[in-house]
Amino acid sequence: MHNGAIMPSEVRHLVDRGQNHPLVRLTGVLDADGVATIRSILLEVLAGQPEAVVVDVADLRVAGDDPLSALRDVLEETRDWPAARLALCGVTNGTPWQSTGWQVWPDRAGAFAALGAPDAGRRVSLRLDPVVGAARRARELITETCQRWGCAEVAGNACIAVTEMVNNVVAHARTSMSVLLARQGGTISVAVRDGSRLPPRFTGPVAPTSFGGRGLLLIDSVAVRWGLLALPDGKVVWALLAPEQITV
């Protein structure tokens, strides 16, 4: 029976969203058995498309063979989307934390000071039900936001991508969804999160006489890059769009 004490491979977490950026406090012992837990915790926070995430590891003990691979994997998985800045704090010894590739700070104050305040105007989200008209509402959001951001030339391709993403949720996942839009330097990211773990499939060229099956082909044709972020309770399909003159 579990009496409430921290077992050898147990990791506890607390997410504080009352800071400038989400703060994830990890406590307990991280070993190889806790890698999947850490990955799930961090991806769930990153699925909300924050500009940055701070992880406090002051009360986390690392044991076993390279359990920090979870942090390296999360950094790599989210390098393109949401492309959030990732920082560890509560680190008194740079080794082995430096091996994660994350920014490392001795305390929370230093981490938050270095990251600065978020620019709320660079992130937009919209919750939608899986109903007819959802894609039209998503396109309206993208068109309006891109005009406000001064990048109307990207709106057309972004609308193509989000239409395919949203329609896929309406037709197949049939769950509520969140449309996420962000400005990242010279690019615009558009993403849709839903509650289905079934991944979309890229099947290659479709015959001219075929009906449907072109959703991912259309996204691939207009996006600089696109991909899938698998979550414990669903997924995020994302795409990066840029004006033709911008090389990424």
- Reported pTM: 0.86
pLDDT band at 200 (very low <50, low <70, confident <90, very high): confident
| pLDDT the model gives residue 94 | 63
* Tokens representing residue 83 in the block: 């492309």
Question: Which of 82, 7, 29 shows the shortest CA–CA distance to 51?
Answer: 82
Average pLDDT over residues 90-100: 82
Ordered by start, the domain boundaries in the chain are 11-115, 120-241
Supply the angle between the helices 35-46 and 69-77 in degrees, to the nearest 10.
30
| pLDDT the model gives residue 3 | 43
The DSSP annotation for 166-220 comes to: HHHIIIII-S-EEEEEEEETTEEEEEEEES--PPP-------TT--S--HHHHHH
Hey, what amino acid is at 112?
Answer: F
What is the percentage of the chain residues whose pLDDT exceeds 90?
A: 71
* H helix or E strand, kind and range, residue 228: strand 225-231
**Fold of the CATH domain 11-115:** Transcription Regulator spoIIAA (3.30.750)
Using one digit for the tens of pLDDT, what is the confidence trace for 10-63? 899 999 999 999 999 999 999 888 899 999 999 999 999 999 999 999 999 988
**Fold of the CATH domain 120-241:** Heat Shock Protein 90 (3.30.565)
Strand order in the sheet with 123-128: 123-128, 177-184, 187-194, 234-241, 225-231
* Tokens representing residue 247 in the block: 């090389």
What is the percentage of the chain residues whose pLDDT exceeds 70?
A: 87
Distance CA 102, CA 245 (A): 31
